[in-house]
Amino acid sequence: MLDRGIIHAHFGGMKPILTRDHALFLDLDGTLLEFAPTAEEVAVPAGLGAMLRGLAAQRDGALAILSGRSLAQIDAVTADPFPAGAEHGFVLRDAAGRIHHPVRQTANR
Catalytic positions, written as ranges: 27
Q: Residue 73: which of 62, 87, 93, 61 has the closest Cα?
A: 87
Q: Which of 18, 102, 85 is nearest to 56 (CA)?
A: 18
Q: What is d(CA 90, CA 82) in angstroms, rounded to the nearest whole number?
A: 16
